[in-house]
Amino acid sequence: MNKFWIMKTISLTVSDKTADVIKRMNEEELKKLKEKVELYVSNPVDELFAVMDEAAEYAKQKGISPEKLAEILEIDMDEMNRTLGSEK
């Protein structure tokens, strides 16, 4: 499942201060801002399921059984929190 994204330019009304900050951003900072906007308006759960579907299809094409894929993906909550930087 390949996704092709059509990009569009939009205009937003923001404060002078916000506009000045955005105008001074370098390419990397602008990229991060765009990613944050995408995440804000998207449904991360739907995106995660789409990635999981792609991983399952890839595994199937490579001959990995559903059982083996489940074993590969199994991770405990402590490990997940460490991976995501959510340790308390």
> pLDDT in tens for each of the 88 residues of the chain?
445 568 889 899 999 999 999 999 999 999 999 988 887 787 778 778 888 888 889 999 999 988 888 888 887 778 777 877 765 5
Residue 19 lies in a domain: no
Q: Does residue 2 fall inside a structural domain?
A: no
In a domain, 23, yes or no: no
Residue 73: alpha-carbon gap to chain centroid: 18
Domain membership of residue 4 (yes or no) is no
pLDDT for res 48: 81
pTM of the model: 0.45
Domain hosting 80: range is: 44-84
Does any domain span residue 10? no
User: Is residue 22 situated within a structural domain?
Assistant: no
**Does the residue 33 lie in any domain?**
no
- DSSP for 53-87, please give it: HHHHHHHHHTT--HHHHHHHH---HHHHHHHHT--
Task: With respect to residue 69, please indicate whether it lies within any of the assigned structural domains.
Answer: yes
> What pLDDT does residue 25 have?
96
Give Cα separations from 2 to 5, 51, 54, 67 (angstroms).
10, 10, 8, 25
